[in-house]
Amino acid sequence: MTAAFTFPGQGSQAVGMGKALAEAFPAARAVFDEVDVALGEKLTAVIWEGPGETLQLTQNAQPALMAVSLAAMRVLESEAGFSVAKHAAYVAGHSLGEYSALAAAGSLSISDTARLLRTRGLAMQKAVSVGAGAMAALLGLDYETAVAVADEAAQGQVCQAANDNGGGQVVVSGDKAAVERAVEIAKSRGAKRAMLLPVSAPFHCRLMQPAADAMAEALAGVIIKPPAVPVVSNVLAAPISKPDEIRRRLIEQVTGTVRWRESVAYMAAHGVTRFFEIGSGKVLSGLVKRIVEGAAGVSVGGPNDIVSAKDALAAAQSS
């Protein structure tokens, strides 16, 4: 099989996402209803009506993005004949998107995933006092150089590579002063751009250990089944299928680097030529084209994308 299903992470959220899907397809509406029931609140009202500042809150953005991804996945299944088991070689997701990938592959229930992501969002926000941490994007440096920049900037504080997104885009995370130093060092090392990001906490670094502990407790209380196809783990950039390892890697992911560039490269090296980005936005589709020459990124986030996705899947199966 030459297709992989991928799922976006935080930053892809937008007020109104998924609304057209829910209005057009009962299968999508059912997902949003299930998420609302699982959380005991109308998250859909925030997703579709805003305000944007409320949707941006980590504890809302994470389950919201998952809801849109799973709604799109259910529509692809009911309207376009998509099947993770039949049509995907792998699933993968960027940060919180790994939870969406696992739900899509039947490893986690949608209700459990919504509750886990609410817990994850709250725990990540609480782990570090507001203003104490920061993240910055370093553009135009390879991963090894970005890691060296982070190491030099740390000076006894925390500064580490949080996201290796590919295409010369690496995000560093840690104590605010250390990340600010990394921005200046990166510029001196030839970065095209280096700038602080408007985020509420320093994700994917050691400062998130309290959140990792919270997720260890939360994940211990849910059923994880073997996924229909392997999930390419963020922290390994390699496929995993055993429930105990999935649980362990999800805990590690909170403080570990999202190895997205290597994950995409792994899937491409094992025959994947079309990457279906299922959910809000087109960030992952753009990255795929920069990571793997000749790879196709197909974004599926609204009703108008369903037919083109079906055609792309047919092409993937015949190639």
* Active-site residue set: 95, 204
CA distance 127 to 158: 14
Structure tokens at 66: 């998952």
Contact 42, 32 (CB under 8 A): no
Contact 119, 163 (CB under 8 A): no
CA atoms within 13 A on the CB side of 249: 25
The backbone torsions φ and ψ at residue 230, rounded to the nearest 5 degrees and listed phi first, read: -60, 145
CA distance 128 to 260: 24
CA distance 96 to 250: 9
Contact 128, 200 (CB under 8 A): no
